[in-house]
Amino acid sequence: MSLKKVCSKCNKNLIKIDEKYCGDCAENVEREKKQQWQYYDKVKRNQESKVIYQSKEWKKARTMTLIRDNYLCQDCLDSRITYATMVHHITPIVEGGEPYDVNNLVSLCDSCHGDRHSEIDKKM
């Protein structure tokens, strides 16, 4: 018998210990994330930057950065091992940062990426 825990979203359904959400909640979370990204792309993202993130050069630089950082969040390394899902510009493009320079890129998890952008938003 495998270990079980309660879904962290609905607190009702039992799931495997290594999962975060039950099936229904996982679908809802994915749908919410997709809606948030669509809103961000449409309303908040700098439209000039949008072209960069859809380019082959960006995809190559992003992949190279993740490989360099072993697909690990660089901000989490002092306290834990976390899989990196984002690649962040250290110097933002709008401030003159090079969009495809791997020396201006760092691999981060979703949480740390959000923290970095919260810091940027506070400065503005």
Task: Note the pLDDT tens digit of each residue in 28-69.
Answer: 988 988 888 777 666 666 667 778 988 999 999 999 999 999
Task: Note the pLDDT tens digit of each residue in 88-116.
Answer: 999 988 889 999 999 999 999 999 999 99
Whether the pLDDT of residue 123 is over 70: the answer is no
**pTM for the full predicted model:** 0.64
CB 61 within 8 A of CB 67: no
Report the alpha-carbon distance of residue 59 to residue 119 in Å, rounded: 25
Q: How many CB atoms lie within 10 A of CB 49?
A: 15
